[in-house]
Structure 1
């Protein structure tokens, strides 16, 4: 099952940079790496998304204001 990490600068409707990996461990490392690299910016949102049979599901997200949040 594919996993995605999305990086957005600006509102949720803004374009995203997306990486896709098959393994959850690799995706988790990428998610943490994006937080380390971009997490201090006020306008950034980073999401870890699972792409399953029912569609996409956000597992975790990060913003500077809220930090890491489970789900959306």
Structure 2
């Protein structure tokens, strides 16, 4: 199953930069790297998403206000 990392500045309807990897470990490293680079911005949302048979599932997300959260 592929994993996506999404980086968005602004509200959920804003465009996102997305990368896709088959390896969860690689996607996790990219997620952590984006937090390191962009996590201090007030308007950032970073998501690690698993693309499964029943559609997309947010594994974890990051915003400056909440920090890291499991799921949506």
Normalised TM-score (structure 1)? 0.99
Following the alignment from structure 2 to structure 1, what is the Cα–Cα distance between the partners of residues 3 and 12? 19
Deviation at 1:8, TM superposition (A): 0.2
Runs of 4+ in 1 over 3 A off after TM superposition: none
Deviation at 1:49, TM superposition (A): 0.1
Q: Which residue of 2 aligns with 1:26?
A: 26
Q: Which residue of 2 aligns with 1:38?
A: 38
- Aligned pairs, how many? 72
1:11-68 C-alpha deviation (Å, 9 max, x unpaired) = 0010000000000000000000000000000000000000000000000000000000
Instruction: Could you tell me which runs of 5 or more consecutive residues in structure 2 were left unpaired when the two chains were aligned.
Output: none
Following the alignment from structure 1 to structure 2, what is the Cα–Cα distance between the partners of residues 57 and 24? 13
Instruction: Could you tell me which runs of 5 or more consecutive residues in structure 1 were left unpaired when the two chains were aligned.
Output: none
Deviation at 1:70, TM superposition (A): 0.1
* Residue aligned with 2:14, SS: coil
Normalised TM-score (structure 2)? 0.99
